[in-house]
Structure 1
Amino acid sequence: MHLGAALLALTVAGVAACGPDRGRPQAAPPVSRSSIVALGDSVPSGYGCSCPGYVQSLAHRITAATGREVLVHNDAHAGATSSDVADAVRDELVSSHLAASDLVLIQVGANDVDTTAIMECGTAGAACYQPVLETLHDNLTRIIATAEAGVHHPVVAVIGYWNITVDGAVGAARGSAFTTASEQATEYVNRVISDVATETAAIYVDTKIPLKGPTNGRDPTAELQDDGDHPNASGHEIIADAAFRALQAAGADCPPDQANSPPMLVAHRTCSEAGR
């Protein structure tokens, strides 16, 4: 992971900042509080876990790194699909949260693909999922565009999945045909999420390697709740670490003299756009 000298600025004036000039050459005035908005499904909502959840844990890491208080608006909901979130961002309350946000976290897509489709498609290839994947792509693009339209021009991070359905011991108990099909479906969903991140200059956060290892050989059972589907406290901490590292890495390539971006660990919307 490339971590340059720009990371040292995390504790200087409370923030490592870089990004687009947007026609305002002066530095943003110092603030004492930043805002995170979370959008998506049961994973960012913290469903089933009597723990802070990775969104709040990430906020704690940012506070420790920057000295800023971080206000969290968790607008994620269990069972949400990408279409649900695309509708939710037009809600008055969610819109008000986005308008004041400095960082928007989006994790959605797992519920777009149901278990029946996974078993029916098996290893047939991406074409079997094409309508669902196209809808996910379009919805994510719209969600990110809405989030980025906020007056603070927030940083947007999209989070991938270690598995879009059950994993660990619970997944293994369903047999090799299921685990193979679910792995393939997860790969397709993550590819869409990653592609949209690239297309929109959002930050992509990989959770598969942290939870399942670089060769997909790590058993994530110990990081999952008994349902095999949702992260437990340990799993949420791993995801929070992955998100924090991704935010750091995204800011590491930016020269420290471009300090006119929102007050957050910033900014992936690249330094090359500054001054346009």
Structure 2
Amino acid sequence: MSGRGRRWLLPAATVSATVIVALCTVLIGSGTVFGTATAGPAPAAPPLPVRMVGLGDSIPAAYGCDGCTGFLDIYADALGDARSTAVTVTNFAVGGWTTADLLASLTPGDEVEGAVVDPDGASRTVGQSDIVTVMIGANDYDAMVDTFAEGRCGGADGLACFDSATAMVTRDLTAILQRIRQLRGGHPTTLQVLGYWDVFPDGEFAEQAYGPQFVRDSTRVTQLANATIKDVAQAQQACYVDLYTPFKGPDGDVDDTPLLIDDGEHPNQAGHQRIADALAATACDPS
């Protein structure tokens, strides 16, 4: 017989051993040995994306900071890096808005002049957002800036002309935060409410426009506004974020001019970075 057509016959014991070895190799490679599964750790699920919305006045709108990145976007980027996930931002802030304007923008069916148009509407977007950042109230107080600067505010403490502003901020901001909770439908929400370093112009601009005494006296109005905003935030289980200290120091004696654009009211790029840093440092938790 030629070698081409020859078949080699192995002993039975040899064949059986070969089959067993091959079978064990397949089973071990598949993670199963004699019917017992040996699975490794399950891969971790990727973090869910985070949705954030900004509400308020010209500060979160990044007014006047041409070509710079506003604090909402800076904070979102930092938060995304920290959580290894995407953070999307929808910014509904509008320059010049008061608490009444913001409240009206969250009321279904009402349209407010200057509001940002969103395909889903502000109310629906807020309802879908995990983080809601609110900065509003300065314009309620700013309406009386000339009266205060001229010494005509009245009252034993010289702040009587702001009584109506305090009442409006208390009423409308309370309603705003309650409306946000309603829109969220009980879902855990990181609700951040920011204060101000000054509700009036500040720094070198204010000194030149109104004088050094005005700059010193305006601190009392800012403290009044911040105390009002903080009280409402805490009453509504929201997280209050202090900006007075990061901008002006614990004693209020730091010149914040390097953080402001030329109008003395709105932050420049360094100022927006300072606000984003304050947000990150406060570490507000969802509730």
* Fold match by TM threshold 0.5: yes
Q: Specify the alignment match of 1:204 in structure 2.
A: 240
Equivalent residue number for residue 42 of structure 1: 58
In structure 2, the residue matched to 1:51 is 68
Map of 2:87 onto structure 1: 70
List gaps (5 residues or longer) in structure 1.
Answer: 1-12, 15-28, 251-265, 270-276
Q: Is the 8 A contact 2:153 2:160 kept in 1?
A: no
Q: Which of 124, 137, 141 is the aligned partner of 2:170?
A: 137
* Aligned residue number for residue 7 of structure 2: none
Structure 2 unmatched runs, 5+? 1-42, 109-119
**Corresponding letter in the other structure for 1:129:** F
| Cα distance between partner residues in 1 of 2:172 and 2:130 | 21
* Aligned alpha-carbon RMSD (Å): 2.1
- Per-residue displacement from partner, 1:30-55 (whole Å, max 9, x unpaired)? 75211111111000111111211011
Instruction: Compute the displacement of 1:144 (Å).
Output: 0.6
Q: What's the offset of the Cα at 1:117?
A: 3.7
Aligned partner (choices 211, 225, 229) of residue 261 of structure 2: 225
Pick aligned residue for 1:121 from 136, 150, 153: 153
Cα distance in 1 for residues equivalent to 2:217 and 2:121: 38
Identity of aligned residues (%): 34
3-state SS, counterpart of residue 64 of structure 2: coil
Task: Name the count of aligned residue pairs.
Answer: 225
Q: What is aligned with 1:195?
A: 231
Alignment-derived partner of residue 253 in structure 1 = none
Which structure would you say has the larger Rg?
A: 2
| 3-state DSSP of counterpart to 1:42 | coil
Q: Distance in 1 between matches of 2:227 and 2:162?
A: 12
Check 1:97–1:117 CA distance in 2 against 1; reply closer, same or farther (3 A cut). Answer: farther
Using structure 2 for the length normalisation, give the TM-score. Answer: 0.74
| Alignment check: 8 A CA contact 2:61 2:95 kept | yes
Moved more, 176-185 or 137-146: 176-185
Residue 103 of structure 1 pairs with residue 131 of structure 2: yes
Mapped to 2, the partners of 1:41 and 1:67 lie a distance apart of 30
Q: Please state whether the residue corresponding to 2:54 is helix, strand or coil.
A: strand
SS at match of 2:173: helix
